[in-house]
Structure 1
Amino acid sequence: MGNRLSKIVTRTGDSGTTGLGDGSRVGKDSPRIDTLGELDELNSAIGVLLAETLPEPCGSKIRECLLTVQNHLFDLGGEICIPGHNSISEEHVTLLEGWAEQYNADLPPLKEFILPGGTRPAALAHLSRTICRRAERSIVHLGHNEAVSVHARQYLNRLSDLLFVLGRTLNRAGDGKGDILWNNPRNR
């Protein structure tokens, strides 16, 4: 494969349009480009999380998991960039479900809502989760007018679940205190 990004400054987007993977051009404010931007932001937020030292005994496994997710998000971006192309399959969704179940099995049941925070890695997992939810809303919005695969939507839904569980796992491993519970007004 040749150099795909040999020239970065092209000036082709100066008019407010951008090229898709199939060669067509769309407005930079189109739902498809919004979705691509949300996926890029999500992948970048996960990258910031991965720049942290993740606590053991789970840190190295979480790192492997999130690196796989970053690659999947690039694949999903390719799917959105090329109308009609499918990259995300049921197997991708099932993998996320398995990880979420695996990490959740070691956590105490939730009896109250939790606050996003605690250790820095956990807080970054929660931030990534909220960006993932926004990307999910964006892909649903795109699907109102253009074809979007069911697996693409499911992937983002499962990924936000996984990021929630990873936030809890990282809090528990990081300082041993675990979740930061919401102070329900009924209990104040």
Structure 2
Amino acid sequence: MKIYTKTGDSGTTALIGGTRVMKHHIRIESYGTVDELNSWLGLIRDQDIDSHTKEILAQIQDRLFIIGAVLATDPDKAVLKNGKKRLNIPEIEAYDIELLEKEIDTMDADLPQMTHFILPGGHTTVSYCHIARTVCRRAERMSTLLFENEPFDEKLLSFLNRLSDYLFVLARKLSKALKADEVKWIPRDKTKG
């Protein structure tokens, strides 16, 4: 199988099922942003962080591949004529979302209470988490727009929503582990210009 096919030279690409759409189609934007997010998670996993977090990130990356496959499939061609699903992939399950919630709660229990918004930064690894969080929010925005027009399993949206929360708390956990300063955002005093 060749890497290049030249079929996309005119600005279109094929969904799973064969339907061709423009490369800027909301479906492509949705799964492309999920793919971008997955790459950022790989970068975080490559950092000098604890093995438990690396394992959780690997599980999350697996789930993002599931989400990407669902989003890349033409819903009109997701089921074959014999009634079977076109793709034999697992689905996002409630326990996938619960895993993120459990991880958030565990990390959060060991962190100081938040009293202000936090400016991203403090350490490169922490900054990668914040970038991943914002890419995750974009993936969620793109996917909700797609969902309005072509509904899919709502658990995918819940997973993306919870994942951005997970990445925020992970940034805080890593700030603490790396002894990086969390810079609080304190609005400037308007009277002092």
Q: TM-score, normalised by structure 1?
A: 0.88
Q: Of 104, 110, 131, which aligns to 2:108?
A: 104
Written as runs of structure 1 = structure 2, the 5 A alignment for 1:71-90 is 71-84=62-75, 87-90=91-94
Structure 2, gaps ≥5 residues long: 79-89
* CA deviations over 1:80-108 (Å, ceiling 9, x no partner): 11244672122211111111111111111
Paired residue type of 1:180: V
**Is this contact kept in 1: 2:15–2:73, CA < 8 A?**
yes
Equivalent in the alignment of 2:18: 23
Local SS of the residue matching 2:16: coil
Q: Percent identity?
A: 40
* CA deviations over 1:150-181 (Å, ceiling 9, x no partner): 10100000000000000000000001x55221
Local SS of the residue matching 1:181: strand
Equivalent in the alignment of 1:40: 35
Local SS of the residue matching 2:47: coil
Q: Does 1:65 align with 2:56?
A: yes
Q: Offset at 1:52?
A: 1.6
Structure 1 distance, partners of 2:93, 2:144, is 17
RMSD value over aligned CA atoms?
A: 1.7
Equivalent in the alignment of 1:3: none
Q: Does 1:185 align with 2:180?
A: no
Q: Offset at 1:184?
A: 2.9
Q: Offset at 1:51?
A: 2.1
Aligned residues: 178
Structure 1 segments, 4+ long, off by >3 Å, are 83-86
Larger Cα Rg: Structure 1 or Structure 2? 2
Structure 1 distance, partners of 2:51, 2:121, is 21
Local SS of the residue matching 1:144: helix
Q: TM-score, normalised by structure 2?
A: 0.86
Equivalent in the alignment of 2:6: 11
Local SS of the residue matching 2:178: helix
* CA deviations over 1:117-170 (Å, ceiling 9, x no partner): 112111111110000000000001111211122101000000000000000000
**Is this contact kept in 1: 2:19–2:74, CA < 8 A?**
no
Structure 1, gaps ≥5 residues long: 1-5
**Is this contact kept in 2: 1:130–1:160, CA < 8 A?**
yes
**Is this contact kept in 1: 2:33–2:139, CA < 8 A?**
yes
